[in-house]
A and B are shown apart, each in its own frame.
Chain A
Amino acid sequence: MAADIHDGAYVNLGIGMPTLVANYIATDIDVVLHSENGILGMGPSPDPAHEDFDLINAGKQPVSLLPGGAFFHHADSFAMMRGGHLDICVLGAFQVSETGDLANWHTGEPGAIPAVGGAMDLALGAKQTWVMMELLAKNGESKLVRACTYPLTGMACVKRIYSDLGTLACGPNGLQVIDLVDGLALCDLQSLISLPIARPSAPR
């Protein structure tokens, strides 16, 4: 995924696994990381001696600010998202539908405390929303589904799914494979998730 983030991109990386993408972005390009709590130009976490809890990321962990970085208030930060100014947003997911619906905020279990944060704004706001997830849940069920059964975060908002088994595009016409891990055939993946997957339209 990191290789697909272009020089000059403004990117928001969601909490958890997506945050790790930052470690793999090429160092010879400028990628500006956005944090929903009012930071552009977010840098890596500092050594413990330089931690400053007035400078944290969306996961509330201390980060640093790169030269050229900026602070702004929350309404501006979400105007940046909603207004379509971010190029890429990477989120985790419980489920993604073949048409790009996203469910990642609530399992819907009784007694679970719901928390949505910025997920709904992020899912809709960026020019491209990418999901990063393991393709199968712990119980072996596919997290790529015809229609989400978990409560929705956003409708038709996901463009790509980066997974442990391959990379797929999704949209109004359903799924299309971009990349598969070595040794995995398209028909194997299809049988794992029980959904039709189109072949790549052009060599990539």
Chain B
Amino acid sequence: MINKVAQSLADALVGTPDGATVLIGGFGTAGVPDELIAGLMEQGAKDLTVVNNNAGNGDRGLAALLKTGRVRKIVCSFPRQADSHVFDALYRSGKLELELVPQGNLAERIRAAGAGIGAFFSPTGYGTALALGKETREINGRMHVLEHPIHGDLALVKAEIGDRWGNLIYRKAARNFGPVMATAATRTVATVHHIAALGELNPEHIVTPGIYVSKIVRIPRVATQAGGFAQPQKARHA
């Protein structure tokens, strides 16, 4: 019998090794699995590489994990935000390595890892500082950059509803990186606010099929906090 429901965050995260690459869902604060990040801090793995679109907001969630000093490197597209002071200080002091990746290449590199693609050519970033040193090729008259997959040892995903087979449904734009990251890690752990009986989820509505999910943990719903840009911002795009 398949039962992927873990009784606690600690149970779901047991055995996360030092040096792990951890894919963490979320865009700004939407879809960031704060409870799983707190669980990972408690679990204690260190020397981590974290993959997220951003680099933490305020002092909670990912920012709190960075603050522990257990993250060696962050792979993201948009670290600088109005409230990214934890990242800013670590980066400026040289205590945190940054790999900056255009957001679409980030998503596609994660997707490629989940889909078993060896590498792919993307037009994004050609001729820019972020493609320096990368192999390039002209395809159909357009220049492309060779990009490699980003595979995780662990993916942490925030979903809305799950069942014991690990099927997941998300909520609104909190979906963002979750379904892609779920496919790309050796072990995927998701939080949900509701666990449905097997067969209760409409199969037409399931976004992440359970095959990609190792454990789900039910957590109480708390309101997602605001986080991101102070207005107005000019000439920048997240």
Please list the residues of chain A having a beta carbon within 8 angstroms of any beta carbon in chain B.
Answer: 14-17, 35-39, 51-56, 58-62, 65, 71-75, 77-79, 81-82, 91-94, 104-106, 111, 113-122, 124-125, 133, 151-155
Contacts and interface: CB of A to CB of B under 8 A. Distances in A.
23 contacts: A17-B232, A38-B27, A51-B226, A55-B30, A55-B173, A56-B173, A59-B231, A60-B27, A60-B28, A60-B81, A60-B229, A73-B176, A75-B180, A82-B123, A93-B235, A113-B92, A114-B98, A115-B80, A115-B236, A117-B78, A124-B123, A152-B127, A152-B128
Contact of B107 (A58, A77, A105, A119): A77
Contacts of A155: 126-127
A153 B129 CA distance: 9
Interface of B is mostly: loop
Given A54-B172, A71-B175, A105 B234 contact: no
Contacts, number: 195
Closest 7 CB pairs of A and B: A60-B228, A78-B104, A121-B104, A92-B235, A60-B28, A53-B224, A117-B238
B214 interface: no
Interface residues of B, number: 61
Interface string B194-224: 0000000000000100000000000000011
Interface string B93-126: 0000010111111011011000000000011111
A73 B110 CA distance: 12
B133 to A, nearest CB: 15
